């Protein structure tokens, strides 16, 4: 009997094939070398993203009639492999994928026909605009308004910390459509094209002393006129429902990207510790080093399993809010531990730009805030746990 390898147990033949061909394609593009160039010269790899689309790798989550494979698991594989191959490329893809997955789930046929092909081909980039100056973790406190004027809506407000915000062509923007009720029942989500009059990029921020190849934008909506219900996703005042669903998908895909980002850094730590000699032997022979490796591998593997467990739940029709929060929590903390320990294992060199460890360390620190902070992830997990005990003592 032929012995299966571990990947054959976890993933189907089609999933493994997708991963292998994607890896080969990214290697062919020399994505790792381009990542290094971005790190040195700070440019936004827009063209590279287009190539990924041209080759047909983008948007595997889309239904078959839109050229996809209809499953989130492929999207997680894509996010993971991009994270491993070229971090800025993975970040362009991140919000684009959250946007096309949400349009696919909530869009009407006209919206899907108009936006999905361009997002899938990489001709257009998507962004998610929820966060505002006064509404971060408390997403229900957004103030951006969309006032109805006949067949149109007039969007006014500000959004902050928006990944790809200044480069996106298509933005999903959450706004209050009924200020008279609780925001949970009075918000809607709109598709806004960036060339619409009144859409303004106030500025792009630098993150943690520079996150080359990405943009994090402050956006202003100054009476942006949106044509009626055509541009609304999921129906009027249904924005909160769409948001929570979007966030579950965002968190698990974000976690998949982090698992990918951590992988080459872990490999660097292993290889470096085998090569580097001190006290007459490879430092990997010291348990102070090799036990760090054991912890890093264990935590990263756990995060990866949580990611794929979660996407399979979502593919099976579950909401999986708790699981996606756990995946994001585990993946960001595993990545942080991997990056932190890799810097330590590389010693003084780990802090220089000779190796990607110091950049990874900054990326890993950053990863605990987007898509909901890790405190909020813990909040969601405990809330869901206690829900199951409702009515019992202390529940």
Active site residues: 250
**CA pair distance 322, 277, nearest whole angstrom:** 45
* Neighbouring-strand partners of residue 318: none
The residue behind tokens 């249904």 is: 238
* Among 65-73, 99-107, 252-260, 373-381, the segment contacting ligand FAD (CB under 6 A): 373-381
**Which segment (70-78, 118-126, 159-167, 266-274) binds ligand FAD by CB under 6 A?**
159-167
Report in angstroms how near the CB of residue 169 gets to ligand FAD at its nearest. Answer: 15
Q: Which of 129, 320, 330, 364 binds ligand FAD (CB under 6 A)?
A: 129
Q: Looking at 10, 181, 375, 385, which residue binds ligand FAD (CB under 6 A)? A: 375
Among 199, 366, 381, 384, binds ligand FAD (CB under 6 A): 366
User: According to CB under 6 A, which residues from 216 to 255 bind ligand FAD?
Assistant: 216
Inter-residue contact 26 to 81 (CB < 8 Å): yes
**Which lies closer to ligand FAD via its Cβ, residue 18 or residue 100?**
100
Contacts of 380 (CB under 8 A, 6+ apart): 321, 322, 325, 372
Report whether 166 contacts 125 (CB < 8 A). Answer: no
User: Could you tell me how many residues of this chain bind ligand FAD (CB under 6 A)?
Assistant: 20
Q: How far apart are CA 63 and CA 343, in angstroms?
A: 42
Q: Is residue 344 within 8 Å of residue 350, measured between CB atoms?
A: yes
Of 29, 274, 369, 381, the one binding ligand FAD (CB under 6 A) is: 369
Residue number with CB closer to ligand FAD (266 or 380): 380
| Shortest Å distance, C-beta 126 to ligand FAD | 10
Displacement of CA 383 from its chain's centroid (Å)? 23
Least distance from ligand FAD to the Cβ atom of residue 167, Å: 12
| Residue span 173-212 as binding mask against ligand FAD, x where in contact by CB under 6 A, dash where not | ----------------------------------x-----
Q: Are 227 and 152 in contact (CB under 8 A)?
A: yes
**Which member of 96, 97, 131, 144 binds ligand FAD (CB under 6 A)?**
131
364/38 Cα distance (integer angstroms): 18
Residue 56 or 136: which CB sits closer to ligand FAD? 136
* Interface positions, 20-39, toward ligand FAD (CB under 6 A): none
Segment interacting with ligand FAD, rule: CB under 6 A, options 63-71, 177-185, 367-375, 385-393: 367-375
Q: According to CB under 6 A, which residues from 52 to 91 bind ligand FAD?
A: none
368 belongs to the binding site for ligand FAD (CB under 6 A): no
CB closer to ligand FAD, 161 vs 342? 161
Closer residue to ligand FAD in complex, CB, 78/139 = 139
161 near ligand FAD, rule: CB under 6 A: yes
3-state secondary structure 13-68: HHHHHHHHHHHHHHHHCCHHHHHHHHHHHCCCCHHHHHHHHHCCCCCCCCCHHHCC
Our finding on whether 145 is near ligand FAD (CB under 6 A) is: no
What is d(CA 381, CA 395) in angstroms, rounded to the nearest whole number?
14
The residue from 233, 376, 377, 380 that contacts ligand FAD (CB under 6 A) is 376
Helical pair 87-106 and 31-41, crossing angle rounded to 10 deg? 110
In which element (H, E) is residue 232 found?
A: strand 232-233
- Direct distance between the N- and C-terminal alpha carbons of the chain, in angstroms, rounded to an integer: 51
Q: Look at phi and psi of residue 389 and say left if phi exceeds 0, alpha if psi is from -120 to 50, else beta.
A: alpha
User: Residue with the closest Cβ to ligand FAD?
Assistant: 136
What does the chain come to in residues? 395
Could you list the residues that contact ligand FAD (CB under 6 A)?
A: 95, 128-131, 136-137, 161-163, 207, 216, 366, 369-370, 372-373, 375-376, 379
């Amino acid at each position: 009997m032929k012995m299966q390898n571990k990947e054959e147990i976890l993933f189907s033949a089609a999933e493994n094939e997708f991963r292998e061909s994607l890896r080969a394609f990214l290697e062919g593009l020399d994505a790792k070398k381009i990542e290094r160039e971005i790190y040195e010269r700070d440019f936004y790899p827009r063209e590279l993203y287009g190539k990924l689309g041209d080759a047909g790798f983008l948007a595997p989550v889309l239904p078959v009639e839109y050229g996809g494979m209809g499953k989130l698991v492929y999207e997680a594989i894509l996010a993971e492999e991009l994270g491993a191959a070229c971090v800025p490329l993975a970040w362009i893809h991140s919000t684009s994928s959250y946007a096309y997955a949400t349009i696919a789930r909530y869009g009407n046929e006209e919206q899907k026909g108009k936006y999905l092909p361009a997002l899938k081909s990489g001709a257009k980039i998507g962004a998610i605009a929820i966060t505002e100056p006064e509404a971060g973790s408390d997403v229900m406190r957004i103030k951006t308004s969309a006032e109805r004027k006949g067949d149109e809506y007039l969007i006014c407000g500000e959004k902050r910390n928006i990944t790809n915000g200044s480069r996106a062509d298509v933005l999903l923007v959450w706004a209050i459509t009924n200020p008279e009720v609780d925001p949970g029942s009075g918000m809607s989500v709109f598709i806004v094209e960036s060339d619409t009059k009144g859409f303004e990029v106030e500025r792009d921020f630098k993150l943690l002393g520079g996150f080359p190849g990405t943009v994090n934008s402050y956006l202003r909506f100054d009476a942006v006129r949106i044509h009626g219900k055509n541009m609304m996703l999921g129906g009027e005042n249904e924005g909160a429902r769409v948001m929570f669903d979007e966030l579950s998908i965002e968190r698990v895909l974000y976690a998949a990207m982090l698992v990918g980002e951590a992988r080459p850094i872990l490999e660097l730590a292993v290889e470096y510790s085998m090569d580097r000699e001190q006290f007459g032997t490879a430092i990997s022979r010291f348990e102070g080093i090799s036990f760090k490796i054991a912890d890093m591998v264990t935590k990263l593997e756990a995060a990866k399993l949580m990611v794929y467990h979660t996407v399979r739940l979502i593919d099976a029709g579950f909401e999986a809010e708790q699981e996606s929060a756990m995946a994001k929590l585990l993946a960001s903390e595993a990545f942080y531990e991997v990056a932190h320990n890799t810097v330590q294992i590389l010693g003084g060199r780990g802090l220089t730009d000779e190796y990607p460890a110091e950049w990874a360390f900054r990326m890993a620190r950053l990863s605990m805030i987007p898509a909901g902070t890790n405190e909020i992830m813990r909040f969601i997990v405990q809330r869901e746990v206690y829900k199951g005990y409702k009515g019992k003592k202390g529940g």
